[in-house]
Amino acid sequence: MTVVESVPTARAMRYAGLVTRVLAFAADVAIINVVGWFVALVVGLCVSFFNLPDEVIAVLVAIGSLIALLWGIGYFAFFWSTTGQTPGNRLLGIRVLDSRTLSPPRPGRAIRRFFWLVLAALPFCLGILWILVDDRRRGWHDKFARTIVADVTDEPAPIRSDVRPRARRRVERGPYQP
């Protein structure tokens, strides 16, 4: 007799809905913007000590804009590809997974998912609103990047197997000795 372990399939899990995903995204955008504003404030204060020509300031603004764009892309790609959860996703109990392996997407796929997300938002957010009619609640960016967004609110916290419980040492209390 052969024993077959049941592996959860993408069809057996609960998928995150539009409102949950939008709230998680809003929390992530707030984090990205607060960090960006803080860095811009510090850089702006440092630059204000120097009398720079307008052309140099324009170049610094362009470089800062490029860095801000890379920061936003890197934020999502890093969190999606490591744990599948950005801080906003963790807050709302959802996780981005590869639809085939049910593991977090690899970095390249996470970056593609970000760019597809931007493109899905362009036609009046139609690609994002597609979540409302899809049976697996996938937007166009999820379909093209081959990802799903699972609801993991009732998933148990992962147990680290590399940590052993510490043994308690008993300290014998004796009389005070100077």
DSSP 155: S
What's the pLDDT score for residue 13? 85
Q: What is the pTM of this model?
A: 0.79
Question: Which tens digit of pLDDT belongs to each residue from 101-119?
Answer: 999 999 999 999 999 999 9
Q: What angle do CA 133, 139, 145 make, to 5 degrees?
A: 145
Give the burial class of 149: count Cβ atoms within 10 A of its Cβ; 0-12 exposed, 13-18 middle, 19 or more buried: buried
Name 15's bridge partners.
150
What would the DSSP string read from start to end of 162-177? Answer: T-PPPPPPP-------
What's the pLDDT score for residue 2? 53
Compute the distance between CA of residue 128 and CA of residue 99 in angstroms, rounded to an integer: 18
What's the pLDDT score for residue 19? 97
Q: Which of 29, 31, 30, 24 is nearest to 131 (CA)?
A: 24
Phi, psi torsion values for 97, nearest 5 degrees: -130, 150
Contact 52, 122 (CB under 8 A): no
What's the pLDDT score for residue 41? 96
Question: Which tens digit of pLDDT belongs to each residue from 116-140?
Answer: 999 999 999 999 999 999 999 999 9
Compute the distance between CA of residue 48 and CA of residue 67 in angstroms, rounded to an integer: 20
Contact 130, 142 (CB under 8 A): no
Distances (CA, A) of 48 to 44, 65, 84: 6, 18, 40
3-state SS, residue 63: helix
Contact 35, 71 (CB under 8 A): yes
Q: Which of 10, 16, 18, 15 is nearest to 127 (CA)?
A: 18
Compute the distance between CA of residue 36 and CA of residue 72 in angstroms, rounded to an integer: 9
Per residue of the chain (178 residues), give pLDDT as tens: 554 444 455 557 899 999 999 999 999 999 999 999 999 999 999 999 999 999 999 999 999 999 999 999 999 999 999 999 999 999 999 999 999 999 999 999 999 999 999 999 999 999 999 999 999 999 999 999 999 999 998 776 555 555 555 555 555 655 655 5
What's the pLDDT score for residue 38? 97
